[in-house]
Homo-oligomer: A and B are copies of this chain.
Amino acid sequence: MLLKSQEHLSVLKVIIITALLIIFTSSLSVSTDVDDSLAYIWPLPAQFSSGNDTLSVDPALCLSVSGKGSGLKIVEEAFERYKAIIFEHEVEGVNSHSVFNNFRKRRSRGFDIGTLKIVVHSDNEELQLGVDESYTLLVAKNEGLSIIGEATIEANTVYGALRGLETFSQLCSFDYDTKSVLVYKAPWYIQDKPRFAFRGLLIDTSRHYLPVDVIKQIIESMSYAKLNVLHWHIIDEQSFPLEVPTYPNLWKGAYSKWERYTVEDAHEIVSFAKMRGINVMAEVDVPGHAESWGAGYPNLWPSPSCREPLDVSKNFTFEVISGILSDLRKIFPFELFHLGGDEVNTDCWSSTPHVKKWLRDHKLTAKEAYQYFVLTAQKIAISKNWTPVNWFVLFCANEIASSIFKFALPLDFHS
């Protein structure tokens, strides 16, 4: 989490974004028409073909799931969510006053797509890095000659089926003239799989607390872009919002008593994300971004007047890290765990007498002690059956990279 040290970069970013916005806005004002030669699917599927038919979708669209994974509730719940999105605008005839007229209209109109068929081959719903998210999607007029037709998603896992549902919903457009939901440019035949196994978005709930409902909205929106990892930067120097049962004073470092997450809140977030095929990678950034820990346990600071990084000289520091990671292991099933490790200014270690003595006794420079800290934290994470991740900036500290990164996976794209 680079802040002060990269302020010039941030300013540059703002300038670039502003410039792009101006260009984008002025081009928008020229024309808001649609280029029909393009496929409006985001991200663009790996392979697809389309035609020239326009198909209508029945507002009473049914789901038919088959395959070994058909018993899993993930697909059914997702179908209900996507149905609400696809039929966001009320369709002509639905909820009209006369049930009879309504029925007649719909029968006579004869929708092209009345059922969405989903085939899920596996009943394994474990969600880990590299899980099979591939799917095929066919949307075509059923001529009565084939057993497939209408709309069919086929996937190896429920998570592939979720991605297929997202794509299907993007093919459906509300037509304001006929007030019906249409699929243009059918037949569609789409074969898709992600290019990257890790497609993440970072939220930072330490610098700015986000209510659970807001985090859920973010997760929901991630599913629209087929992102699959919520990188939850939970704690930093500014606040410690998460409950840690083993060290119950830690969340005294929250901004206020309302700006906190219970263990149950965290479970709820993980489970909400899983229903959308999204893993939650928790981050506990040590030893540099951890001042808030000392609000509950001041011994974690080198001294009350010199509070960061965490005191490398005390066993207690690593006991607390181990306690946090044990508690978090019960909440976060994802195999990756982020230990931060960036932006460590070791001045407090060199200037605080008892830490200075410890460095001398162990014949360590401050930089070597930093290396020792990161490595020890990684070992703790590994002992809890986690694959540790660190910020990329550690790679740049060449002297310590070789030893540290035998365990670290530089998988985060946001560093």
Contact = CB atoms under 8 A, between A and B. Distances in A.
Contacts of A255: 32
B213 A265 contact: no
A257 interface: yes
B90 A264 contact: yes
A360 interface: no
A268 B176 contact: no
A352 interface: no
A262 B32 contact: no
A260 interface: yes
A89 interface: yes
A179 interface: yes
Contact of A265 (B32, B90, B260): B90
Contacts of A264: 89-90, 179
Contact of A268 (B90, B179, B265): B90
A143 interface: no
A176 B257 contact: yes
Given A257-B176, A260-B176, A265 B89 contact: yes
A32 B260 contact: no
B176 A256 contact: no
B32 A256 contact: yes
Nearest to A95: B264
Contacts of A265: 89-90
A7 interface: no
A89 to B, nearest CB: 6
A179 B248 CA distance: 14
A255 B32 CA distance: 8
19 contacts: A32-B255, A32-B256, A88-B212, A88-B213, A89-B212, A89-B262, A89-B264, A89-B265, A90-B262, A90-B264, A90-B265, A90-B267, A90-B268, A176-B243, A176-B257, A176-B260, A176-B262, A179-B262, A179-B264
Given A32-B255, A90-B262, 11 more contacts: A88-B212, A88-B213, A89-B212, A89-B262, A89-B264, A89-B265, A90-B265, A90-B267, A176-B243, A176-B260, A179-B264
Q: Which A-B residue pairs are the 6 nearest by beta carbons?
A: A90-B264, A32-B256, A89-B262, A176-B260, A176-B257, A89-B265
